[in-house]
Amino acid sequence: MSEDRVKLYRGLREVYIDRTNSSFINGKEGKLYYRGYNIDDLAVNCSFEEVIYLIMKGALPTLKQLDQFVSELRSNMTIPEPVLDIIKTIKNAHPMDVLRTAISALSAFDDDVNDNSAEATLRKGTRLTAQAPTIVTAHARIRDGLEPITPDPELSLAANFLYMLFGEKPDPRDVALIDKDFVLHAEHGLNASSFGARVAASTQADLHCAVTTGVAVLKGPSHGGAAESVMTMSQEIGSVDNAEKYVKDTLSSGGRIMGFGHRVYKAVDPRSLHLQDDLKELGERKGEPKWYSILQSVVEVMKPYSRKGINQNVDFFSGAMYFLLNIPEDLFISIFAIGRVPGWTAQVLEQFENNILLRPRLKYVGDLDREFIKIEDR
Ligand code: CMC
């Protein structure tokens, strides 16, 4: 086909690049499946560790398999001292920049780094999943002038996240919220960060490269950064009475309501329904039901947009939940990233299994045959 007649797929909207059996999004009905299991079943019945196993290995574990896997995860949570030193050096950077740099640096200490076999990639994915909460919490403490806390091998990843962040054994109800939040973020089709990870893997770069890319791509407000923006929006709205005016003013000035809209879901994102219930309960428990009420008012005002397929997404309620758990706002995206490491790993494994270089094309619309003038004559 001549270059003039090529069809452009801007944003790769509706373009399918391969097959997967890792996750499926039914955007019309608002359903999400990991390895064939409905997220609604997994969110209320499984620990994050169980879901990591499912996503990375393809099947739900038996009790014995889970036990072994949990031990493997827990024995891999520490990070090497030189990586802690790097975190100290760059402590003033955004937590996602620190996470990206630390994951990249971990490759220098991983014996499997250049081994792209499925076994080694799984081992690395397990290690990176275990190490991500340690990086994020170590950085959060270091920048506050506190000592990082060594992970407790008796605690789950979610409990360790809160323990290493605050230095106290966490309330099991808070742990359950973070655990479910990690489950809900674990895998999600060909989202932008997983696509980024797959592009890296398609060149036969290793898992550390792919996960570093995933973290980089996740950072933007159109992807993982929305939870933080939703909390800022809730604070700007300030009270239920102001929600309608705020939403209308934002939309009429061409702005977007953060935590709304999705490339694939045209119905409500099912993940947001779980977080909605959790936020309501947490707000009541903490004596701060206001944030839930403000967000619900935004949902009400946005109802007419539902017809256009613009509904609340996973980021809409999660920010207020983290806020009520006293988690600093610039850590919100990092929580998403911790949850997503298993998904990136699973997709890299799939990419390696039947690899093809991901190399689309751009239609050239610039000048041709321009007269070249030497630098001294320009
Ligand atoms: N508020 C108001 N209008 C919106 C919104 C929104 N949040 N999202 C989409 N629209 C409108 C948009 O203005 C456009 O209208 P029109 O056709 O009249 O120009 C139409 O919907 C289509 O928008 P689009 O940008 O072409 O759609 P997209 O599929 O490229 O965008 C999105 C998806 C997530 C980038 C977008 O919905 C958005 O910017 N949302 C706010 C940011 C956000 O919440 N991101 C988190 C996504 S979920 C977490 C994750 O999985 O990454």
pLDDT of residue 2: 64
pLDDT of residue 3: 67
Catalytic residue chosen out of the listed positions 185, 188, 208, 262: 262
User: Mutate which of 39, 217, 271, 313 to test ligand 1's pocket (most atoms within 8 Å of Cβ)?
Assistant: 313
- Rounded to the nearest whole angstrom, what is the distance from the C-alpha of residue 9 to the centroid of ligand 1? 17
Note if 315 is an active site residue.
yes
For residue 260, the cross-strand partners are 312
Which atom from ligand 1 is nearest to the alpha carbon of 192? Answer: 52
pLDDT of residue 28: 95
pLDDT of residue 226: 87
Cβ count within 10 A of residue 363? 10
Ligand 1 and 25: CB distance under 6 A: no
Please give the domain boundaries of the chain with CATH numbers for all domains: 23-221+328-353 (1.10.580.10), 226-324 (1.10.230.10)
Ligand 1 and 223: CB distance under 6 A: yes
Note if 369 is an active site residue.
no
Question: Whole-angstrom Cα distance, residue 53 to residue 56?
Answer: 5
pLDDT in tens, the chain (378 residues): 566 789 999 999 999 999 999 999 999 999 999 999 999 999 999 999 999 999 999 999 999 999 999 999 999 999 999 999 999 999 999 999 999 999 999 999 999 999 999 999 999 999 999 999 999 999 999 999 999 999 999 999 999 999 999 999 999 999 999 999 999 999 999 999 999 999 999 999 999 999 999 999 999 988 988 888 999 999 999 999 999 999 999 999 999 999 999 999 999 999 999 999 999 999 999 999 999 999 999 999 999 999 999 999 999 999 999 999 999 999 999 999 999 999 999 999 999 999 999 999 999 999 999 999 999 999
Token output for 140: 């959060």
Which atom from ligand 1 is nearest to the alpha carbon of 308? Answer: 21
Ligand 1 and 256: CB distance under 6 A: yes
Ligand 1 and 257: CB distance under 6 A: yes
For residue 251, give the H/E element and its range. helix 243-252
Ligand 1 and 302: CB distance under 6 A: no
Cβ count within 10 A of residue 205? 16
Ranges assigned E (strand) in the chain: 23-26, 31-34, 37-38
| Buried residues in 237-265 as b, exposed as e (16+ CB within 10 A) | beeeeebeebbeebeeeeeebbbbbbbbb
Ligand 1 and 313: CB distance under 6 A: yes
Question: Whole-angstrom Cα distance, residue 274 to residue 43?
Answer: 8
Token output for 199: 């592009």
CA 364 remoteness from chain centre: 33
Question: Whole-angstrom Cα distance, residue 100 to residue 214?
Answer: 9
User: Is 227 within 8 Å of 322 (Cβ atoms)?
Assistant: yes
Residue nearest to atom 35 of ligand 1 (CA): 222
